[in-house]
Amino acid sequence: MAAKSLSELFVEELRDMYDGENRLTKALPKMARAAEHPELQAAFTSHLKETERQIARLEQVFRAVGEEPRGKKCDGIIGIVEEGKTAMEELDGAVLDAALIAGAQKVEHYEIASYGTLAYFAGLLRNDRAKSLLGETLEEEKAADRKLNDIAKSRVNRDALLSAGMEEEGNGTSRSRGGTGARRGASSGRRRSTSRAARGRKR
Ligand SMILES: [Fe+2]
Ligand SMILES: [Fe+2]
């Protein structure tokens, strides 16, 4: 049923996020298993726990506006999660880590936009309880986005660049260059085959 008022639109948007967050509790463990970098695995695992708390908080918001907690198919999150599945099938190693971060940041930005709008609507509707609960989750999503940014900038994207450089070297003959980058590239290559084998076992 199409929303006819701001309060109905608010509930529709709440249902969208309730469905989206529930889908993310299924996607995040897969992303943690697929990630190679320990810091990235830990970030996905801790955001899973945070997401479970956010779902409970959304249920409090539903109660604060006198509605039953119910989801409505969230096409936005479905699309981003699908892209992540494709990346997990097609990529490996540090390059997969870089793709997982890119996908996770797309999710965070979707959530930041959604919770920002919901908190603003709650304010317009003069529901302070809902506004403060939604504001709390909004801050958590912003922090999750910043953390992903830090991980990407500190290690993961550099490793992806180095592992790509190593593959190019492997195709040619210049293996004598050595150096830290080449060693890291080589070890990341080994991890890549391990992670592929590990995922094979899980299937
Ligand atoms: Fe969330
Ligand atoms: Fe999030």
Is residue 34 situated within a structural domain? yes
pLDDT of residue 167: 55
Q: Which positions ≥6 away from 175 have C-beta within 8 Å?
A: 169, 182
How far is residue 179's CA from residue 19's CA, in Å, rounded to a whole number?
A: 48
Asked whether residue 201 carries a pLDDT value surpassing 50, the answer given is: no
Is residue 181 situated within a structural domain? no
pLDDT, one tens digit per residue, over 150-163 is: 999 987 788 878 87
Report which bound ligand comes closest to the CA of 43: 2
The CATH number covering residue 112 comes to 1.20.1260.10
Asked whether residue 46 carries a pLDDT value surpassing 70, the answer given is: yes
Is residue 59 situated within a structural domain? yes
| Distance of CA 24 from the midpoint of ligand 2 (Å) | 8
| Distance of CA 44 from the midpoint of ligand 2 (Å) | 10
* Residue type present at position 75: D
Is residue 177 situated within a structural domain? no
Is residue 171 situated within a structural domain? no
Q: Which positions ≥6 away from 22 have C-beta within 8 Å?
A: 55, 71
| Distance of CA 36 from the midpoint of ligand 2 (Å) | 20
- Count of beta carbons in the 10 Å neighbourhood of residue 55: 17
pLDDT of residue 197: 43
* Residue 130's pLDDT band (cuts 50, 70, 90): very high
| Distance of CA 147 from the midpoint of ligand 2 (Å) | 11
* Residue 174's pLDDT band (cuts 50, 70, 90): very low
Around 124, how many Cα atoms within 13 Å sit in the side-chain half-sphere?
Answer: 12
Report which bound ligand comes closest to the CA of 53: 1
In terms of residue numbers, what domain contains 14?
Answer: 6-164
pLDDT of residue 159: 82
pLDDT of residue 1: 59
Closest CA to 27 of 39, 44, 41: 44
Is residue 29 situated within a structural domain? yes
| Distance of CA 156 from the midpoint of ligand 1 (Å) | 23
| Distance of CA 77 from the midpoint of ligand 1 (Å) | 11
Ordered alpha helix ranges (H), the chain: 6-34, 38-64, 75-90, 93-124, 128-151, 157-171, 179-202
Report which bound ligand comes closest to the CA of 144: 2
* Residue 3's pLDDT band (cuts 50, 70, 90): confident
Is residue 148 situated within a structural domain? yes
Asked whether residue 171 carries a pLDDT value surpassing 90, the answer given is: no
How far is residue 16's CA from residue 24's CA, in Å, rounded to a whole number?
A: 12
Q: What is the count of structural domains for the chain?
A: 1
**In whole numbers, what is the pLDDT of the chain averaged over residues?**
85
| Distance of CA 115 from the midpoint of ligand 1 (Å) | 9
Is residue 194 situated within a structural domain? no
| Distance of CA 31 from the midpoint of ligand 1 (Å) | 15
SS3 74: coil
| Distance of CA 184 from the midpoint of ligand 2 (Å) | 31
Asked whether residue 69 carries a pLDDT value surpassing 60, the answer given is: yes
| Distance of CA 112 from the midpoint of ligand 2 (Å) | 8
Dihedral pair phi/psi, residue 40, rounded to 5°? -75, -40
CB 29 within 8 A of CB 126: no
| Distance of CA 80 from the midpoint of ligand 2 (Å) | 13
- Residue 173 or residue 83, greater confidence: 83
Q: Scan for tokens 């959304």, then name that residue.
A: 58
- Residue 89 or residue 197, greater confidence: 89
